[in-house]
């Protein structure tokens, strides 16, 4: 018998799409300042940093907020870098606690209230922007709220995602980050141009609060505690991840902290996560400034074109996750080989594209094309390291995400600072070339380390019973059977 009629209507996929919209809000709340900042800075101060080497594209490159009476500020480049990067100081702190709490208590409330916290603080950002220290503190607190989001969802998938669906379910969720960027960047520019920059924060904060209400009403920490799940689907999920769902509760004492710290596989995943985020966060927080200062786009075109790489990134995340899970299920590639392959391809093409961007000068068309290619292959790379936590230690997936994302958060505040240091004079393509070269070198380093030390196999220290790890009752290749036959086995199992 079939588990349920349509795959995309099953409760685990509904959870994935609700998490998708959660991450969409997370990144809309995160990127709005990247665009609004261009309009918040006094244009006379900004002119001191604007390149004169490229022709102006569009009718007006000045901040449009003067039309709406919004206040502007005389923040220099280092101050702007501090403001953009301050979010990540808070984001760094709650990663590991968030992962551990998600593993012990479930991720529903952590994810929901983390986003609610950021939404409320976003609403008051126009008020706190009047003082740089207050704005920095506000952004740090927003980071504290959002810091639990990725570990919380990874912890939920440890008990919701059948092994051969991990790539699809996890990456549907996480791809909301890219779609949030796709929507958030141009929408921020449009709102700024039409209403003034304060309304970016008012509107995005209100949308996130509406999402929070829906999330709290429709989700649950486990399949067993969700009232409206189909009973056959509940049986199927529990059967497929029985070694996780039957594990003893996580405590501080029984969490293998020392073994995690000594694990080369975990360090390889952390390295890949760090290297990816260096390039990703550099573009995410600084791309609008590069487009305006060097390529001379007005703010509306700036935000629209800045979002294009993330459109391609989102598409490739969805497509690649399905392809990878299919190849694993059919034993075409082992989990280890699949993770390393997509990680290497994605990082290598990203490095090449960033190097190319550094040398295109004022050819904004070619720059945008290279950025779009980089975005697409960034999406491919995320099917490697970003799902690896569920492969190597499903029980502790939330904790591992907290650990790797803590390390990978460093580029969030260091990257904008490096950009600020390198572009303190007139912001030229030559200065930005150094930014892109550094990112390319870091990508190559990530390829080397992850290819040598990475793995897709469950680690011995990730035991679920206190002894040696015992794999699932069926091997990776056995999951190539269709869900109908699997569910028959579940039905037989439930009548024993």
Show the tokens assigned to 266. Answer: 């975990």
**pLDDT > 90? residue 202:** yes
Residue 387 domain-assigned (yes or no): yes
Range of 122's domain? 11-226+238-494
**Cβ proximity of 19 and 153 under 8 Å:** yes
pLDDT at 295: 72
Average pLDDT over residues 6-22: 85
Mean pLDDT of 262-266: 94
In a domain? residue 130 = yes
Q: Is 298 within the bounds of a domain?
A: yes
Comparing 202 with 56, the larger pLDDT belongs to 202
Q: Is 5 contained in some domain?
A: no
Torsion of CA 288, 290, 292, 296, to 10 degrees: -140
For residues 170 and 288, the answer to whether their CB atoms sit within 8 Å is no
Lowest-confidence range among 33-37, 50-54, 201-205, 345-349? 50-54
Among 208-212, 258-262, 275-279, 483-487, the range scoring the smallest mean pLDDT is: 483-487
Q: Is pLDDT at 426 greater than 80 in this prediction?
A: no
Distance, CA of 113 to CA of 336 (rounded, Å): 35
Beta bridge partners of 41: 73
Choice between 41 and 489, residue whose per-residue pLDDT is larger: 41
Q: Answer whether residue 285 shows pLDDT above 50.
A: yes
> Which pLDDT score, from 0 to 100, does residue 411 have?
86
Burial 350-372 (b: 16+ CB within 10 A, else e): bbbbbbbbbebbeebeebbbbbb
Binned at pLDDT 50, 70 and 90, residue 50 comes out as: low
Is residue 337 helix, strand or coil? helix
pLDDT of residue 218: 93
Domain assignment present for residue 233? The answer is no
Does any domain span residue 1?
no
Residue 189 belongs to a domain: yes
What pLDDT does residue 343 have?
94
pLDDT for 168 equals 86
Q: Which distant-in-sequence residues (6+ apart) come within 8 Å of 327 by Cβ?
A: 333, 338
Q: Which pLDDT score is estimated for 397? A: 85
Between 292 and 2, residue with greater pLDDT:
292
How far apart CA 302 and CA 61 sit, in angstroms, is: 9
For 442, the enclosing helix (H) or strand (E) is helix 429-453
Read off the pLDDT of residues 164-197 as tens digits, 9 standing for 90 and up.
888 888 889 988 988 898 888 888 888 988 898 9
Residue 352: CATH number of its domain? 1.20.1250.20
Spatial neighbors of 254 by CB under 8 A, at least 6 apart, are: 248, 466
d(CA 228, CA 58): 53
Across 6-15, 89-98, 112-121, 126-135, least confident range: 6-15
Which two tokens mark 429? 């393509």
- pLDDT over threshold 90, residue 122: yes
More confident residue, 2 or 439: 439
Proportion of the chain in helix, strand, coil states, percent, rounded to 5: 75, 0, 25
Identify which of 139, 146, 104, 108 has the alpha carbon closest to the alpha carbon of residue 122: 139
Are the C-beta atoms of 52 and 426 separated by less than 8 Å? yes
Q: What is the band of 346 on the pLDDT scale with cuts at 50, 70, 90? A: very high
Average of pLDDT values for 458-463? 84
Token pair 């301050």 in the structure block, residue: 86
Res. 268 pLDDT band, cuts 50 70 90: very high
Q: For 111-120, 153-162, 276-285, which range has the lowest pLDDT when averaged over its residues? A: 276-285
309 Cα distance to chain centroid:
14
Q: For residue 274, tell me if it sits in a domain.
A: yes
The pLDDT value recorded for residue 263 is: 94
**Buried/exposed 115-152: b ≥16 CB within 10 Å, e otherwise:** bbbbbbbbbebbebbeeeeebbbbbbbbbbbbbbbbbb
> Cα separation of 79 and 280, whole Å?
21
pLDDT tens digits for 216-240?
Answer: 999 999 898 888 888 898 888 888 8
Instruction: Give 336's pLDDT tier (boundaries 50, 70, 90).
Output: very high
To the question of pTM greater than 0.95 for the whole model, the response is: no
Counting other chains too, the contacts that 460-468 makes at CB distance below 8 Å and 24 or more residues apart are 461/256, 461/259, 461/260, 461/263, 461/393, 462/256, 462/392, 462/393, 462/394, 462/395, 462/396, 464/243, 464/244, 464/246, 464/247, 464/248, 464/395, 465/247, 465/248, 466/248, 466/254
Residue 482 has what pLDDT?
Answer: 42
Q: Rounded distance, CA 454 to CA 489, Å?
A: 33
Q: How far is CA 416 from the centre of its chain?
A: 17
Residues near 354 by beta carbon (within 8 Å), at least 6 away in sequence:
279, 370, 374, 436, 437, 439, 440, 443
pLDDT at 21: 96
Structural domains in the chain (count):
1
Instruction: Please give the structure tokens belonging to residue 390.
Output: 């569920």
Provide CB contacts within 8 A for 484, sequence distance 6+.
Answer: 1, 2, 3
Mean pLDDT, the chain, as a whole number? 81
Q: What is the pLDDT of residues 442-459, one digit of tens each?
A: 999 999 999 999 999 989
The pLDDT assigned to 48 comes to 52
Find the angle CA(219)-CA(385)-CA(248) to the nearest 5 degrees.
50
The pLDDT of residue 59 = 45
Q: What is the mean pLDDT of residues 324-353?
A: 93
Sign of CA dihedral 227, 231, 233, 239: positive
């Amino acid at each position: 018998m079939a588990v349920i009629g349509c795959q995309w209507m099953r409760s685990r996929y509904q959870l994935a799409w609700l998490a998708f919209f959660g991450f969409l809000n997370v990144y809309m709340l995160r990127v709005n300042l990247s665009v609004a900042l261009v309009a918040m800075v006094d244009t006379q101060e900004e002119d001191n940093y604007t390149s004169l080497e490229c022709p102006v594209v569009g009718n007006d490159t000045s901040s449009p907020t003067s039309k709406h009476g919004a206040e502007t500020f005389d923040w220099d480049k280092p101050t702007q870098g501090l403001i953009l990067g301050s979010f990540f100081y808070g984001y760094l702190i709650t990663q590991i606690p968030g992962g551990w709490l998600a593993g012990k208590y479930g991720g529903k409330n952590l994810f929901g209230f983390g986003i609610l916290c950021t939404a409320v603080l976003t609403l008051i950002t126009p008020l706190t922007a009047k003082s740089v220290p207050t704005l920095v503190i506000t952004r740090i607190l927003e980071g504290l709220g959002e810091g639990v989001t990725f570990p919380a969802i990874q912890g939920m998938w440890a008990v919701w995602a059948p092994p051969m669906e991990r790539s699809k379910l996890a990456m549907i969720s996480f791809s909301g980050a890219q779609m949030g960027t796709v929507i958030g960047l141009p929408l921020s520019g449009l709102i700024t141009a039409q209403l003034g920059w304060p309304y970016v924060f008012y509107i995005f904060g209100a949308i996130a609060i509406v999402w929070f209400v829906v999330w709290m009403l429709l989700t649950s920490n486990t399949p067993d505690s969700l009232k409206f799940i189909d009973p056959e689907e509940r049986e199927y999920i529990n059967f497929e991840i029985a070694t996780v769902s039957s594990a003893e509760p996580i405590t501080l004492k029984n969490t293998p902290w020392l073994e995690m710290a000594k694990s080369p596989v975990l360090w390889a995943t952390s390295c890949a996560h760090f290297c990816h985020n260096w390039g990703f966060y550099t573009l995410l927080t600084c791309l609008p400034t590069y487009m305006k200062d060097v390529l001379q786009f007005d703010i509306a075109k700036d935000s629209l074109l800045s979002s294009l790489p993330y459109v391609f990134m989102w598409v490739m995340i969805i497509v690649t996750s399905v392809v990878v899970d299919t190849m694993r299920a059919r034993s075409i590639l082992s989990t280890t080989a699949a993770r390393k392959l997509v990680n290497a391809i994605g990082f290598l093409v990203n490095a090449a594209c960033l190097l190319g961007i550094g040398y295109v000068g004022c050819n904004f068309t070619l720059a945008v094309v290279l950025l779009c290619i980089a975005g697409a292959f960034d999406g491919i790379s995320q099917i490697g390291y970003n799902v690896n936590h569920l492969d190597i230690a499903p029980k502790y997936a939330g904790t591992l995400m907290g650990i790797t994302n803590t390390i990978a958060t460093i580029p969030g505040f260091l990257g904008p600072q490096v950009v600020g240091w390198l572009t303190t004079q007139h912001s030229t393509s030559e200065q930005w070339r150094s930014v892109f070269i550094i990112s390319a070198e870091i990508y190559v380093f990530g390829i080397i380390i992850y290819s040598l030390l990475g793995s897709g196999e469950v680690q011995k220290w990730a035991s679920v019973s206190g002894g040696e790890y015992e794999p699932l009752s069926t091997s990776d290749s056995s999951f190539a059977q269709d869900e109908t036959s699997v569910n028959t086995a579940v039905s037989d199992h439930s009548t024993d």
